[in-house]
Structure 1
């Protein structure tokens, strides 16, 4: 199963749904200190893979991952390391991101790995038969 990620009807594809977060619309700044998590995602060989940029955190205590009704949500917290006045372009505070999982994804079987500032989440997606089925109409 390679290629396009199919989601449940009514949910736009990944770039359409979350593209607004990267454009800086006011919605992203509605909660002070809440930042977006940048992600990459793909589906290959029956596994949905999501990679999230989370540098400078301790994944054992600073990351929360939940799956509820087909939506995967990542939350993380990164505090400032110093109280001195200094110039920084780093982002501190709360980070969050939610994505609709592909149809049939088994969120309860997710595995994770954190390496070099990138969190990788893998979720099995059983292959589903797609296509058109003809349903006979009975008449009497």
Structure 2
């Protein structure tokens, strides 16, 4: 029995099974840890241009990492790298704002740093009342 081959010898069936096992979108693998008073999230994102291909936003207590890994064109090749859009959403410590978050990309790794706890200033709320007439 003959098997259809593509991408440098991998069978089409093998390619389809690999795709089904890894999901439709590229996976963003992350690791998180606390270092002193900082929470650090690190994501492996090799092969992307951080200026063009990575979007990092803070909204509603969530850190949203999204972007795209662009496919290179080659005549005859084999790849196990997933290309296309990716997204990962991570819950932030309570009270964290976009101003509290910093990000740095180096050697294919995105490192995002934020405080472990946000210092919230207490605000005194005045209690209003109305004097009742004395009878």
Deviation at 1:116, TM superposition (A): 1.1
CA positional deviation for 1:105: 2.6
Paired residue for 1:99?
Answer: 90
Aligned to 1:77: 68
Q: Looking at CA atoms only, which structure, 1 or 2, has the larger radius of gyration? A: 2
Does residue 68 of the first structure (1) align with residue 68 of the second (2)? no
TM-score, normalising length from structure 2? 0.65
- Give deviations 1:75-130, integer Å, cap 9, x for gaps: 120111114231111111111100111223333321111111100011123368xx
1:114-133 equivalences in 2 (<5 Å): 114-124=105-115, 125-126=117-118
> The residue matched to 1:82 in structure 2 has which SS?
coil
User: 1:73 is paired with a residue of what secondary structure?
Assistant: strand
1:59 aligns with 2:50: yes
CA distance in 2, matches of 1:80, 1:36: 15
TM-score scaled by length of structure 1: 0.62
Map Cα deviations across residues 44-101 of structure 1 (whole Å, 9 max, x no partner). 2221211011001100110000111111010120111114231111111111100111
SS at match of 1:60: helix
How many residue pairs get matched?
99
Unmatched 5+ stretches in structure 1? 1-25, 129-140
Please tell me the root mean square deviation across aligned C-alpha atoms, in Å.
2.1
